[in-house]
Amino acid sequence: MRWTTLKRFGRAAVVITALGGTLNAPAWAGKTLDAIRDRGKVQCGVSTGVAGFSAPDSKGRWTGLDVDVCRALAAAVLGDGDKVNFVPLNSQQRFTSLQSGQVDLLSRNTSWTLTRDASLGFHFAAVTYYDGQGFLVPKKLKVSSAKQLRNAQVCIQSGTTTEKNLSDFSRSQGVPFKPVVYDSFEAAFKAFFSGRCQAYTTDASGLAIVRNKEAPHPEDYMILPELISKEPLGPLIRRGDDEWFAIVKWTVFALIEAEELGLTQANIDGFRTSKSPSIQRLVGTGEDMGKLLGLDKAWSYRVVKTVGNYGEIYERNVGSGSLLKLPRGPNRLWSQGGLMYAPPIR
């Protein structure tokens, strides 16, 4: 065998040995995780108030699906789901606040799009709610389709994907609209209910929220059947910190996998003696998955113990246990015909 060939084999062996040594090595803490641990709080950017997703209750405590994602992260990295500072941000403030480092992540009903993912310096970590844009109209208008809203005035919030979606739908369907634009979510729906517009458009979840909670007479309004866009919503972070990206991503996946395995906030302690390797990894009694994220062995146990599994979070905030009572639809588990699917924690 030639010496050059031997040298190639030698270099390959070194590479293989090095790679093998890193496969099970603990992760280095990233700068975001270090900053969180130093301050003892997760800085979480949320909406200024969207019921079911992120809004303060009558006692000032933040609640909602997006809020529970932040609490889950605090439980994973700090051991306490209450160690979160919730920073309310409107649509115009949210991206600048994340870019500047004012918040560690955004968890505030923000749609995953190519432009946001590729040009703003962000990573979307996962999808926590599959939504789509629709229209809310008064029943007295006697329309059954958005295509019947020709030349209608449509109330809409600025600085969101809804503006472009409305424009795209108008062009593709040949249906002209007259957008009436407002700076905030609240201003837009209040203008609609005051009669300023014939229709109001936003994500379908938002339409259900404003009809059920804000309409003077909810029975007088209907959500039209069409969805004119895809709106996958989820947390996003700044680029450049792969360790934090992995923690946020796998925390969401742990919520989904817990539902798949039947682990709940109430019963998870009873599974700590389970013989199932998948359950052992999730409850922290088996193979140590935390060290690969720069966390301890019980990180995912604390996540579920603090906020429950994904299904519990959904039902409590926007589903059957909430005022909104939104059907799970595409947010069901993949095994139940939905889109919620988590890579395995192993």
18 versus 295: the higher-pLDDT residue is 295
| 79-113 as b/e: b if 16+ CB within 10 A | eebebbbbbbbbbebbbebbeeeebbbbbbbbbbb
Q: Does residue 225 come out as left (phi exceeding 0), alpha (psi in the -120 to 50 range) or beta?
A: alpha
Per-residue pLDDT for 319 more than 90? Answer: yes
Mean pLDDT of 222-244: 95
Q: Give 203-255 as a DSSP string.
A: EHHHHHHHHHHT-SSGGGEEE-S---S-EEE--EEETT-HHHHHHHHHHHHHH
* 121-179 pLDDT, tens digit each: 999 999 999 999 999 999 999 999 999 999 999 999 988 889 999 999 999 999 999 99
The answer to whether the CB of 308 falls within 8 A of the CB of 264 is yes
Classified by CATH at the fold level, domain 31-130+233-336 comes out as: D-Maltodextrin-Binding Protein; domain 2 (3.40.190)
**Amino acid 14: pLDDT:** 39
Task: Please give the radius of gyration of the chain, using alpha carbons only, rounded to the nearest integer.
Answer: 23
The answer to whether the CB of 85 falls within 8 A of the CB of 44 is yes
- In percent, the amount of the chain with pLDDT more than 70 equals 92
221 versus 183: the higher-pLDDT residue is 221
On average, the pLDDT of the chain sits at 91
* 5-50 pLDDT, tens digit each: 434 444 444 333 344 444 455 555 689 999 999 999 999 999 998 8
Positive or negative torsion for Cα 293, 297, 302, 308: positive
Residue 270 burial by Cβ neighbours in a 10 Å radius (0-12, 13-18, 19+): exposed
**Amino acid 26: pLDDT:** 57
**Amino acid 185: pLDDT:** 86
> Chain-centre distance of CA 5, in angstroms?
52
Secondary-structure class of domain 133-229 per CATH: alpha beta
Tokens of residue 19, six digits: 């790679």
Helix (H, G, I), strand (E, B) or coil at 147: helix
The answer to whether the CB of 120 falls within 8 A of the CB of 99 is yes
- In percent, the amount of the chain with pLDDT more than 90 equals 84
Tokens of residue 186, six digits: 């609240």
**Amino acid 2: pLDDT:** 44
**Amino acid 19: pLDDT:** 41
**Amino acid 27: pLDDT:** 56
**Amino acid 92: pLDDT:** 87
Which residue type, as a one-letter code, is found at position 55? A
Per-residue pLDDT for 4 more than 80? Answer: no
**Amino acid 29: pLDDT:** 61
Which residue type, as a one-letter code, is found at position 109? N
**Amino acid 7: pLDDT:** 43
**Amino acid 73: pLDDT:** 98
Domain ranges of the chain: 31-130+233-336, 133-229
Tokens of residue 274, six digits: 């389970």
Per-residue pLDDT for 68 more than 70? Answer: yes
* 245-294 pLDDT, tens digit each: 999 999 999 999 999 999 999 999 999 999 999 999 999 999 999 999 99
